[in-house]
Chain A
Amino acid sequence: MPPPPAPAEIETRLHAILTEHAGLEGPVLPILHAVQAEWGHVPQETLPLIAEALNISRAELHGVVSFYHDFRDAPAGRHMLKICRAEACQARGGKRIEDAARAKLGVDWHGTTADGGVTLEPVYCLGLCATGPAAMLDGRVVARLDETRLEALLSEAGA
C-alpha cells in the first residue's frame, strides 16, 4: 500500500478541491466524492478543513460521511470488486457467484485480501438485472458471470 500522504500535501490538494466546488448548491457530496477519488477514502484529517470551509460542525460532517455506503474511512485494496446481491441476480444464480468469490478471495463482505489486493463489497443492483449475475470491478461493469468469467475477473484483479 502506498504510504499515507503527508498532511501538508493533503492540505494543498484539499484546498484545490474546495476551491473547485465553491459556489455549488449543496457542495458536501461532490466534495466528498472528489476527496475519495483523490485518496481512495475520506482521510480523517480532511474533515476539520472541509467542515470549516462549509461552515458546518465536524460532528455533522462525520454524520454525513458515515451515512453513505460509498464513503470509506480507511483505504480499500488496490482493486474494488462489487458483486450484486439483489433479487434479480439471485434469481440467476448469483448466490453461487457470491460464495465462489468469497471462497476464492478468502474474505467476507467488506473484507480486503491479506495482500491488500482486493476489497469485496456487496452492491444492491447495478441495473443489469436481465443479464446477471452482475459485478463491478474498479468501476467497470461485468455481467453474465459464471465460474469461468468470475475466475477471469479475479485474475484481472490479481487474485
Chain B
Amino acid sequence: MSALKVYVPRDAAALAVDAEKVAEAVMAEARIRDIEVDLVRNGSRGMLWLEPLVEVEKDGIRHAFGPVGPRDVEALFDADWGEHPLALGPTEEIDWFKRQTRLTFARVGVIDPLSLDAYEAHGGLEGLRRALGMTGPEMIEEMKESGLRGRGGAGFPTGIKWDTVQKAQADQKYIVANADEGDSGTFADRMLMEGDPFSLIEGMAIAGICVGATRGYIYLRSEYPEAIHVMREAIRIARARGVLGTSVLGSRHAFDMEVRVGAGAYVCGEETSLLNSLEGKRGVVRAKPPLPAIEGFLGKPTVVNNIISLGTVPVIFEKGAAHYRDFGLGRSRGTIPIQIAGNVKFGGLFETAFGMSLGALVDEIGGGTASGRPVKAVQVGGPLGAYFPRDLFDTPFGYEEFDGQGGLIGHAGVVVFDDSADMLSMARFAMEFCAVESCGKCTPCRIGAVRGVETVDRIARGDAAAIPLLTDLCDTMKDGSLCALGGFTPYPVMSALTHFPDDFHANTREAAE
C-alpha cells in the first residue's frame, strides 16, 4: 500500500493554533497503527478560521478537515479520514475557496514551500525562463501591459518604476523587497513567503534581470520568525540549484539575494526609511526627490517593491500580461489578495479580481462578525486607512473607488468591528500609534500625534470645543507631514469622527445638559 499523504500547514497562523502538535499527533498515531504516512508541511490555504486545516489525499483528491486539534487526530484515524464532524469535503470544493481567482497565491497551501521540484511542477520558473528570452525593454512593456500597481499601498505602476531604474546608469543597482508588512489586518506577504517563497525569489530575479540589478535584499520584519526561516532556506536551495548565483538558470545574468531582518519600527515600511534602515541608519524618512529608483540603497538605483507586487511578477510572465490585465476593474487590474480580519466569522486570505464590493467581502465572504453582533465599522488599508460604515458597503474594491470615498485600499487588509467598538477609542488609538511610531522628522507628525491623543481625551471627558481642534489638527498633519504616517493618520481619525459622530458626542451632550 502506498503511503497516506497528509498535509499539516506550517504557516504561522496554523502554528499559532497548535499545528505543530497536530503534526506530531499524526505521526505518533500513524506509528501506533503501523500506517505509513507521507507528511507534507504546506503553507496555508488561507481559510484561517479552519486552521489547523489538515488535508488527506485520497485518489488524488485532497480532502480537508478542520479546525483539527491534537486531540482530534486519534478519532480522525479511527474514521479513516472519512466521515467525521470535522470533515469538510474536497478542499477545492469549499465554497470560500472556489469563489477565488488565485493567481499570486496559486501555489500557496498547495505545495511544500521548500520543494523546488513541486514549485516547478506547478508552473514555477516558467515566467523566469520566458523573461530570459526577452530584452529589458520587452520585459518593461510586459509589466506595463499587465497593469500591475504596487500592492504595498501607494498603487504606483510597477512597470513605470522598473523603467526608471532600467534607464538609470550605474555600476550597481538593487532590488529591495519590502516585507515590513506592519499594517494591522494584513498577512498576505507573510503567507506568500511562508507558503511559496520561490515565487518571491523568481519575481526578484526577473526584476533584477529586467533592470540590470545583480543584488537583492528582502527587508523582513522581525515579528515574522517563521517567514524569515522559510525565506532563508528557500534562498539557500535556489542558490544550490542555480536559480540564483553568477548565472541564473545558466544564463549570462547574475542575481543573488539575502534576507535582512527589521527591528520593530513600523515606519521602516516606508521605502526611504527602509533604505536608511538597510544601510544601518536610523529609520528616518528621506525627502523625495531623489526617488529610490534613481538614488536608493547606498545611493544606487533601486527598485523597492512590495512582496505581493514582486510575487505576482512570475505569473504575469508565465501566463502573459494580457491574462493578468483582463481581470479587474477600471484602473485596478488583475487580482488582489484581500485579507479579511478582525471580528469576522470566516477570516482569511481571499484572492479575487478587483471589483467586489466591500459589503460582499464582509457579509458574504466574511460571514459577518464572529461575535454574531451587527457590523459597525470596517477599517480598510491598515492603521492609516479609513473606517467605513455600512452606508459605504457598496464601494467596489479598487484604488480609485476607495479614494473616491475618502479611503484607501492600502495593502488590502479589511478589519471588521462589531457594534461594541467605540470609535472614539479607535481614533485615539490611531493617534497613539502615530506618536509611538513617528520617525520624528516632522513636527506635525511627531508633536501633532501627541496633541491628537490629548485632544481625543478632552473630547472623551465631554469637552465639545475640542472637536474642531481635532479637525484642525488633522488638517495640519495632512498638509505638513513628509510621509503617509503623519499624513494619513487623519484618515482613521476623521472617518471615525465623520461616520460615527455619536461616539464623540455622547459625553459632550451629557455635559451640556
Contacts and interface: CB of A to CB of B under 8 A. Distances in A.
Contact of B340 (A33, A67, A130): A130
B309 to A, nearest CB: 18
Nearest to A143: B16
B223 A26 contact: no
B339 to A, nearest CB: 7
B27 interface: no
A91 interface: yes
Contacts of B413: 88, 129
Interface footprint category on A: 35 or more
A71 to B, nearest CB: 6
B33 interface: no
Interface string A110-128: 0000000000000111111
B347 A126 contact: no
Contacts of A131: 13, 16-17, 48-49, 51, 347
A26 B280 contact: yes
Q: Chain B's interface: helix, strand, loop or mixed, by majority? A: mixed
A130 B16 CA distance: 12
Interface in B371-389: 379, 383
B268 to A, nearest CB: 8
B12 A128 contact: yes
B260 interface: yes
A71 B264 CA distance: 9
A76 to B, nearest CB: 13
A20 interface: no
Given A29-B260, A127-B187, A88 B341 contact: yes
Contact of B280 (A27, A71, A92, A134): A27
A156 interface: no
Contacts of B225: 139, 141
Interface string A131-154: 110101001111110000000000
Contacts of A123: 223, 264
B16 A33 contact: no
A132 to B, nearest CB: 8
Contacts of A67: 265, 282-284
Given A71-B263, A129-B187, A87 B415 contact: yes
Contacts of A140: 15
B298 A25 contact: yes
A130 B344 contact: yes
Most chain B CB within 10 A, of A32, A91, A134, A144, is at A91
Contacts of A124: 182, 184, 266, 383, 433, 436-437
A73 interface: no
Contacts of A71: 263
A64 interface: yes
Interface footprint category on B: 35 or more
Interface string B213-246: 0010000001111100000000000000000000
Nearest to A60: B281
Nearest to A125: B184
B342 interface: yes
B194 to A, nearest CB: 9
A70 interface: yes
B415 A141 contact: no
Nearest to A91: B342
Given A30-B261, A143-B16, A92 B48 contact: no
A90 B185 contact: no
Given A29-B277, A127-B12, A92 B17 contact: no
A130 B223 contact: no
A129 B46 CA distance: 12
Given A33-B261, A64-B282, A130-B49, A90 B429 contact: yes
B341 A130 contact: yes
A139 B429 CA distance: 26
A86 interface: yes
A29 B343 CA distance: 36
A28 interface: yes
Most chain B CB within 10 A, of A89, A91, A127, is at A127
Interface in B328-345: 339-344
B421 interface: yes
B223 A68 contact: no
Given A25-B215, A26-B279, A26-B297, 19 more contacts: A28-B279, A29-B263, A29-B278, A29-B280, A33-B222, A70-B263, A86-B185, A87-B383, A87-B415, A88-B415, A124-B437, A126-B223, A128-B12, A130-B340, A130-B341, A130-B342, A131-B51, A142-B16, A144-B16
Which 9 residue pairs spanning A and B have beta carbons closest together?
Answer: A28-B280, A130-B347, A86-B184, A68-B263, A91-B342, A129-B341, A143-B16, A69-B264, A127-B187
Interface of B: 12-13, 15-17, 48-49, 51, 181-187, 189-190, 215, 222-226, 260-266, 277-284, 297-298, 339-344, 347-348, 370, 379, 383, 413, 415-418, 421, 426, 429, 433, 436-437
Interface of A: 25-30, 32-33, 54, 63-64, 67-71, 86-92, 123-132, 134, 136, 139-144
